[in-house]
Amino acid sequence: MTILRRRRSPPPALPASRPRQQTKRQRTRLIIRAAGMLPVLLLLCVGFHFLSDGRFFTGQNLGIVLQQAAVNTVLAAGMTFVILTGGIDLSVGSILAARRDGRADCLEAS
């Protein structure tokens, strides 16, 4: 008794452009993941520049923006280290508010 086995036909060959499209998609996804929100930030900056009649990208304005962001940057770095070491501290906002109140009182006194 002979058992007949069906031969499986090989899968159809993919067109030559198919692998190239997949690599383009993968490359595009990789670039988007690597860039993150940077393109959005750049678009916002260009938009603000044109809305402010060209005053946004001046050295003075960028210095002011960096100066105002310095306190929050230091707080964020400190909170990052606190969280990484395992101690969750949620009182940073209240400490910042108390410090600003104290600073305002000192400025009024002088």
d(CA 53, CA 65): 17
12, part of any domain: no
Q: Say if residue 70 is in the same domain as residue 98.
A: yes
Name the domain count of the chain: 2
Query: What residues contact 57, with CB distance under 8 A and at least 6 apart?
Result: 45, 49
pLDDT of 60: 92
Whether the pTM exceeds 0.85: the reply is no
pLDDT of 19: 58
What letter represents residue 28's amino acid? T
80, part of any domain: yes
Full residue range of the structural domain in which residue 39 is found: 18-57
Closest CA to 71 of 48, 95, 91: 95
Summarised one tens digit per residue, pLDDT across range 26-48 is 888 888 888 888 989 899 989 99
pLDDT of 77: 85
Low-confidence ranges of the chain (pLDDT < 50): none
